[in-house]
Structures are given as structure tokens and as C-alpha cells.
Amino acid sequence: MNETSASRTALVTSLMRAVHTRFDRPALIDDPWGDRLVPDAERKAIQELLTAALGPEVSKQLDALGSPEAVLHALLRASPAYGTVIVRTRYAEDALEEAVAAGARQYVIIGAGMDSFALRQPAFAQGVEVFEIDHPATQGLKRRRLGECGVSLPHTLHFVAADLSREELGAALTRSAFRRDQATFFSWLGVTAYLTREANLATLRAIAACAAPGSALVFTYLDQREFDPGRQSDEIQRARARVASLGEPWLSGFDPAQLADDLRGVGLALVEDLGGEELRARYCGDRNDGLSPAATIRIARAQVAA
């Protein structure tokens, strides 16, 4: 990503969560903040980038929708990433609820982007301390938008600005009220594909090192085999082109067959590893609106080993 600009993918996913909350039924998540946190200028830029990837005939069809807002909504819902963003959020918050019931009292969101959990903290998470870790440029935009919206921030919300390519996660958390002796839930959604394998393993190792035994983690990843040019589907090629056009190309994945060993090597134990079809069956099997995660996405849940 651009070192001085907020992550465009973070802004896009924020808008997707808002569109789903407002228009899809039944809604899998409830995020009425998603669009409020994205400035108008960024919305316009995102719309232009998404439209530029379409052919002239599709662009004409979008123009017929009448308003820029309707066009942007249509573009977001047509994206193959749309269902993935919604389902991964629901999965992570389901896992968080289980972790809180088991005693977790801290929630660390790595690469938080425009996540609004701390603003809409549901009943099950009342009193849970929320730590948002993100690149200073993205977090700076979010904090400015919260101020412009006149939001009164909850005392349980802690911002930790950090570039994790340059600073280790545990070191960043020491600059906050984070407690290493308290059970914690970590979420790391839509990030690992944009980092090198070495950076991903370093972050996983840091989670295991700074969290109390039994703490839990949910993260998304891509199958490393999808990076093999010889087996890339048209869907993967288009998806890679889209994120690259936003200035944030995919860099790496994990091999599902080796994931348990990879996690064991950094002090974590694999609890669950689901692919797109399994996630679709769990969350979208009874839907008739086409909402579904991409077949290529994977989401894993792990625990810090004792």
C-alpha cells in the first residue's frame, strides 16, 4: 500500500459491510457504520477505479441506474469479494462470541481498517477491551472521520498505530493497555495475502508470544497453490488484477495441507480450517440472493498453545 494513503481495500470492504447491512436480507452482520467512515472523495475514487475495470456496455448499464450511490452499490455487490467480506466478518464475530464466553476479555483487530465493532459492541462483548492495530495512514483517516462524525469513543477502544512490516506486534501492543496475562481473541481478516510468507509467520509467532495460553485467533488466507500461474482460474486472475489496480497486490498464501504444521512451528494449534464451499454451506446455504464467499478463500481458527 501507499505509505501515506489509507488502504483502499480497507475502504472498499467497509463500504461492502454497510451495503450488506442496509440492503441484504437476511443480514449476516450488522454494520451501519461502514459507509459513514469512508469520505465522499474516497467513495468517488473507488467508484472510478471499479468502473474502469468494466467494459463500455456494462458501464452504460450502470449509468442507467441514475445516481452515483446506486452505481457504487451495484459495483460493490457485483464484486466476487463481496460475499467473502460479509461471511468472514460473521465467522470472526461468531468465534469472538465463543471466546468471550470462555473468558476472553480483550479483542485485538490486526489490520482493523474501518472496522466498527467497538462502536456497535453487542451485548455479549460489553466490557471487552478492543485494540485496533493498523497502519498509521489508514488509522489516521479513520480517527479523522470519527471526529468529523462527532462520535464519542467508548473507553474500551484503544488505537495502536503500527506498521507491522517494521514493528513487531508484541512491541506495538506494549504501547497500549494490552495485558499479556489476560485471555485474548485476535482477528486478522483480509490481510495475509498482501504480506510475504515471512511477514505472516512473524506476526503469527508474535501473537503466540504475547498472548496468554488459550487465547484464540481467526485469520483468512489464500491457498498458496493459487499463486501458481499454471493453475490460476479466470476468477483468481481477475481478483489479482483488481487488488493490484488498487495498489495492493497479493503476495503469498499458505498450503492448507501444511497449515497445522506451520502454526505448530510458531506456537499455535489449529482448531478449524474452512474453505469457501464449507463457509457457503454454513452461512449461505438457505439464501436465494446469490450471496456466497469466493471458493478460493480460506479461514482458519487457532489457539495459543499452553
The per-residue pLDDT for range 211-254, each reduced to its tens digit, is: 999 999 999 999 998 887 776 666 666 666 666 666 678 889 99
pLDDT (0 to 100) of residue 232: 64
Give CA angle at 26 (50, 20), nearest 5°.
20
Structural domain total, the chain: 2
- Model confidence band, residue 165 (pLDDT cutoffs 50, 70, 90): confident
The x, y and z cell numbers of residue 170, run together, are 508484541
pLDDT (0 to 100) of residue 225: 86
Q: Do 255 and 140 share a structural domain?
A: yes
The answer as to whether 170 is a domain residue is: yes
State pLDDT tens for residues 168-225: 999 999 999 999 999 999 999 999 999 999 999 999 999 999 999 999 999 999 999 8
- Model confidence band, residue 108 (pLDDT cutoffs 50, 70, 90): very high
Q: What percent of the chain has pLDDT over 70?
A: 91
Q: Do 12 and 127 share a structural domain?
A: no
Looking from the CA of 182 toward its CB, the CA atoms found within 13 Å total: 15
Q: Do 187 and 174 share a structural domain?
A: yes
Q: Which domain holds residue 96?
A: 81-304
Q: Do 64 and 86 share a structural domain?
A: no
The answer as to whether 277 is a domain residue is: yes
Q: Do 86 and 42 share a structural domain?
A: no
The answer as to whether 1 is a domain residue is: no
Residue 2 has pLDDT above 60, yes or no: no
Q: Do 39 and 156 share a structural domain?
A: no
Per DSSP bridges, beta strands 184-188 and 216-222 are parallel
Domain termination residue (choose one: 30, 46, 78): 78
Q: Do 166 and 35 share a structural domain?
A: no
The answer as to whether 3 is a domain residue is: no
CA pair distance 291, 284, nearest whole angstrom: 7
What helix, strand, coil percent values describe the chain, rounded to 5? 50, 15, 35
- Model confidence band, residue 61 (pLDDT cutoffs 50, 70, 90): confident
Domain termination residue (choose one: 78, 103, 130): 78
Q: Say which residues have a Cβ less than 8 Å from residue 198's Cβ, sequence separation at least 6.
A: none
